[in-house]
Amino acid sequence: MSSTAHRVVRAASIATALALFLSVLTMPSGSASSIMTTEPDHAFAPVDRPGPALSVPEAKLAKSLECTANAEHSEHGTVLFVHGTTMKPDENFSWNWFRAMDKLGRPYCAVAMPNRGMGDAQISAEYVVHAVRHIHQATGRQVDILGHSQGGLVPRFAMRFWPDIRPMIDDYVGFGATNHGSFVVDALCLPPLGCSPSLWQQTATSNFTQATNSHQETFEGISYTNIYTHLDEFVQPALDDTGTSSLHTGDGRVTNVATQDVCPLGPPSEHIAVGTYDPVAYALAMDALNHDGPARPDRMSGAVCTEPFMPGVETLQFATEYVNSMSAVSKELILHNRKPAEPELKSYVFAG
């Protein structure tokens, strides 16, 4: 990466950290966990109970999904991209992953969660359920899911409570996924001002993540690749495979891997980078897509550690595109509509 690009990344990261700091300053002291509840696993629905009917109108669900023209006729499975909190699909993926997939001729779709993924993640999960069903029906093939941040968590909620989609999914790849919440997000959600519904649901003690991980975290037939970075400024803890992004229980095949496990000396990667331009994250994800089972770090070439960007990222446009993404995150974090508490879990989540 050039010195100019390094300066851009550093400046944008500082700006986003400042946005986090300013968000916290606007709130009185208190404990985010004080209004959470803790339920035993048996309080949640059995993993094989059929999911509920979708509450979102079909027209809205259909409008949220966009696919490439080759999706129905490709020899490859279609990749479903799920964006992160505060972003739209194009802001997250158009300047990196979409270009890379176009160059490879690989089919893909992207689902737009409502309100930039700031609303109730239970509703966002319905959009993912619809997307998986639609793609599977249209192509006759299994779907591969690539999700960044909340875009890694929401598909897992969908898999947990709509079991019919599990056989439709081959690979799940999460980039900096908030699979068990994040204590950094806790600092954004201090009462009484609180934060957006989906941020509440990504706190380290949220009812949403507890429900998502209830009984078992993974399911048979699905390969899970969880890619994270030790330098993540949003999703922590992330120091090893006991951190928030990693998965351990259940019947799925799982790889939990930090970019630093492959390249201990770099390239540096933070939360936005791991799902947008990091070459190591890209190599791991493509390894998962191109092989049976999850990614295997031992298949990585050492050459990836010297690459500045993943394929698809245009060097001359990188500074502008990266700053645009970081600006969207910062703006939403500061200006979003806050709620005083996490949304209540839907009745279908519970065993009763």
> What local confidence, expressed as pLDDT, does residue 325 receive?
86
Note whether residue 217 is domain-resident: yes
Note whether residue 171 is domain-resident: yes
Note whether residue 78 is domain-resident: yes
Note whether residue 351 is domain-resident: no
Residues 6+ apart with CB under 8 A from 215: 41, 44, 46, 47
3-state SS class at 106: coil
Residue for token pair 């190599």: 283
Cis peptide bond N-terminal to 46, omega within 30: no
- Give the torsion through C-alpha atoms of 89, 90, 91, 93, to 10 deg: 80
Note whether residue 256 is domain-resident: yes
Note whether residue 352 is domain-resident: no
Note whether residue 350 is domain-resident: no
Note whether residue 87 is domain-resident: yes
> What local confidence, expressed as pLDDT, does residue 328 receive?
86
Q: Spell out the per-residue pLDDT of the chain, length 352, in tens.
A: 554 454 445 444 444 443 443 333 333 333 333 334 567 888 999 999 999 999 999 999 999 999 999 998 888 999 999 999 999 999 999 999 999 999 999 999 999 999 999 999 999 999 999 999 999 999 999 999 999 999 999 999 999 999 999 999 999 999 999 999 999 999 989 888 899 999 999 999 999 999 999 999 999 999 999 999 999 999 999 999 999 999 999 999 999 999 999 999 988 899 999 999 999 999 999 999 999 999 999 999 999 999 999 999 999 999 999 998 888 888 998 888 899 999 999 999 999 8
CA distance 324 to 310: 18
Q: How many structural domains compose the chain?
A: 1
> Distance from first CA to last CA of the chain, Å, rounded?
54
What range does the domain containing 253 cover? 3-345
Handedness of CA 87, 92, 95, 101 (dihedral sign): negative
CATH of the domain at 105: 3.40.50.1820
- Can you list the alpha helix ranges (DSSP code H) found in 167-239? 183-186, 197-200, 207-212
Handedness of CA 199, 224, 124, 35 (dihedral sign): negative
Considering the entire predicted model, what is its pTM?
0.90
Angle at 177 (CA atoms; ends 49, 254), nearest 5 degrees: 65
